[in-house]
């Protein structure tokens, strides 16, 4: 089947079937094309392919059939026109900035984005004369007030890490478009199985495939999904020249990851929801952050915008850092690691790891307390996960 033929199929089917164009060897499973370059039938064909007038593979920095299959499949899942894969999630975000920004431009960024994303704007784009302002993820008024004549795009992550706050994508897309800006959404926490930012009005989606798309903590990768125009004009030329390419092996792993994405996300969400409800009843727990709970400030928005509530839960313990560390150190099964989106449940103390580089004042401003613990709920039996946490509660 041609790739466009998958357009009308459901996400679970697209995630399994789309993107693979069977070769003359009639293979059933997607092969890894471990080749750096491709041969041309003639000098003329080589010349035409290099100008882009004739489509075809040239060199694996920017054309590889295994990587293409991953790109086509993820574009369909995100309901975007085109996807480009990158060496990591950070490389994908870097590509959006390098492709769209020039000195003197301005961006508005959520205060609650991934730590390295903050550093990318502050230390690197800032160094080359790009201005930036950080605003509250959940306050559309702040976003609108921060927009200036030279603002190029708004950048956010929803749900956020580690407090699982939800941004109103439709409202922020409307604000962005009213001021002639683009809206960029990091869709790592939900994946297209739970949330489709482009369908909600966003212009660009970025991914770290390292998390739920892989799903088993094996490979590092990333992607950008957007319109044909944005990709062709701004992102593809940067990938071709900048070279932060996804390897065919990693693309092959991610293709297999996508095949079970819908099923895994459902199971992650079911386990996370059950754990959040259980945590809310534990006397040592001060507060649970999970959008599936009625106590979550954006519970209604999450219901409207996402098809389920996600696999990450965070909670505050009475007793601050000592109690949080004691809980983490009492677990026997959970992995003490900052990665997320794995079938294995992971546990982290944000204030001293992922957010440890922030000053105590900034941490307080974004609401990351010393007693906060983040759990990326895996697919082990939920009773075993509860038992492991109960040891330290
Ligand atoms: C991990 C992560 C990234 C960065 O992705 P890498 O693949 O580690 O480079 C970006 N955004 C979010 C939300 C992440 O969790």
What are the tens digits of pLDDT across the range 219-247?
999 999 999 999 999 999 999 999 999 99
pLDDT score of 4 more than 80: no
Q: What are the CB-based long-range contacts (under 8 Å, 24+) for 291-296? A: 291/159, 291/164, 291/166, 296/164
pLDDT score of 150 more than 60: yes
- Return the percent helix, strand and coil in the chain, to nearest 5: 40, 15, 45
211 lines ligand 1 (CB under 6 A): yes
Half-sphere exposure of 334 (CA within 13 A, CB side): 32
As a whole number of angstroms, the distance between CA 160 and CA 366 comes to 11
12 lines ligand 1 (CB under 6 A): no
The three-point CA angle 33-39-40 to 5° equals 135
As a whole number of angstroms, the distance between CA 74 and CA 81 comes to 10
**Can you give the pLDDT at residue 3?**
56
Of the chain, the percentage scoring pLDDT greater than 90 comes to 92
Whether 138 contacts 161, CB under 8 Å: no
pLDDT score of 2 more than 80: no
pLDDT tens digits, 89-116: 999 999 999 999 999 999 999 999 998 9
**Can you give the pLDDT at residue 284?**
95
What is the pTM assigned to this prediction? Answer: 0.97
pLDDT score of 214 more than 70: yes
In this prediction, residue 297 has a pLDDT band, given cuts at 50, 70 and 90, of: very high
Select from 353, 346, 390 the least CA-distant residue to 370.
353
pLDDT score of 184 more than 60: yes
In this prediction, residue 1 has a pLDDT band, given cuts at 50, 70 and 90, of: low
Residues forming a β-bridge with 336:
347
Half-sphere exposure of 134 (CA within 13 A, CB side): 16
For atom 11 of ligand 1, which residue has the closest CA? 114
In this prediction, residue 166 has a pLDDT band, given cuts at 50, 70 and 90, of: very high
The answer for residues whose C-beta is within 8 angstroms of residue 212's C-beta and 6 or more apart is 188, 191, 193, 257, 261, 264, 265, 268, 311, 341
The domain spans of the chain are 3-259, 262-390
For atom 2 of ligand 1, which residue has the closest CA? 208
222 lines ligand 1 (CB under 6 A): yes
User: Which CATH code is given to the segment(s) 262-390?
Assistant: 3.90.1150.10
Distance 114 CA to ligand 1 centre (A): 7
As a whole number of angstroms, the distance between CA 32 and CA 321 comes to 46
pLDDT score of 371 more than 60: yes
Of the chain, the percentage scoring pLDDT greater than 70 comes to 99
- The encoded tokens of residue 376 equal 């990326």
Question: What average pLDDT does this structure show over 333-361?
Answer: 93
In this prediction, residue 19 has a pLDDT band, given cuts at 50, 70 and 90, of: very high
In this prediction, residue 365 has a pLDDT band, given cuts at 50, 70 and 90, of: confident
208 lines ligand 1 (CB under 6 A): yes
Domain 3-259 and domain 262-390, same fold? Reply is no
Average pLDDT score over the chain: 96
- Nearest atom (ligand 1) to Cα of 93: 10
For atom 5 of ligand 1, which residue has the closest CA? 89
pLDDT score of 213 more than 70: yes
**DSSP structure string for 277-296:** HHHHT-TTEEEEE-TTSTTS
Task: Select 3-259's CATH number: 3.40.640.10, 2.60.40.10, 3.40.50.300, 3.30.1330.10.
Answer: 3.40.640.10
- Is the bond into 50 cis (omega within 30 degrees of 0)? no
Of 169-173, 256-260, 350-354, 373-377, the one with minimum mean pLDDT is: 350-354
Pairwise pLDDT comparison (281 vs 338), residue with the higher score: 281
- The encoded tokens of residue 196 equal 């489709």
């Amino acid at each position: 089947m041609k790739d466009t033929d998958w357009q009308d199929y459901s996400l679970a089917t697209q995630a399994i079937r789309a993107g693979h164009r069977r070769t003359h060897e009639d293979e059933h499973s997607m092969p890894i094309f471990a080749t750096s370059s491709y041969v041309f039938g003639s000098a003329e064909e080589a010349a035409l392919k290099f100008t882009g007038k004739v489509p075809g593979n040239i060199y694996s920095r920017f054309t590889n059939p295994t990587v293409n299959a991953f790109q086509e499949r993820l574009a369909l899942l995100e309901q975007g026109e085109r996807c480009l894969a990158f060496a990591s999630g950070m490389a994908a975000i870097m590509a959006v900035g390098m492709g769209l920004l020039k000195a003197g431009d301005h961006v508005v960024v959520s205060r609650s984005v991934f730590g390295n994303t903050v550093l990318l704007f502050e230390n690197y784009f800032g160094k080359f004369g790009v201005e930036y302002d950080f605003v509250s993820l959940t306050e559309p008024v702040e976003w609108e007030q921060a927009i200036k004549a030279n603002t190029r795009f708004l950048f956010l992550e929803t749900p956020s890490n580690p407090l699982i706050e939800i941004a109103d994508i439709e409202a922020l897309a409307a604000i962005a478009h009213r001021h002639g800006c683009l809206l960029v959404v990091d869709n790592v926490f939900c994946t297209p199985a739970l949330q489709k930012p482009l369908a909600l009005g966003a212009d660009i989606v970025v991914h770290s495939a390292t998390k739920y798309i892989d799903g088993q903590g094996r490979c590092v990768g990333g992607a950008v999904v957007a319109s044909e125009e944005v990709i062709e004009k701004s992102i593809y030329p940067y990938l071709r020249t900048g070279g932060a390419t996804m390897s065919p092996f990693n693309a092959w792993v991610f293709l297999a990851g996508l095949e079970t994405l819908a099923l895994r996300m459902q199971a992650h969400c079911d386990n996370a929801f059950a754990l959040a409800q259980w945590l809310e009843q534990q006397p040592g727990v001060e507060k649970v952050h999970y959008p599936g709970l009625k106590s979550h400030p954006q519970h209604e928005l999450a219901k409207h915008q996402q098809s389920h509530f996600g696999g990450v839960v965070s909670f505050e313990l009475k007793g601050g850092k000592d109690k949080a560390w004691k809980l983490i150190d009492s677990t026997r099964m959970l992995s003490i690691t900052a990665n997320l989106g794995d079938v294995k449940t992971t546990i982290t103390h944000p204030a001293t790891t992922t957010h440890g580089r922030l000053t105590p004042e900034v941490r307080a401003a974004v609401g990351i307390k010393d007693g906060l613990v983040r759990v990326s709920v895996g697919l082990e039996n939920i009773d075993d996960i509860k038992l492991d946490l109960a040891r330290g509660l």
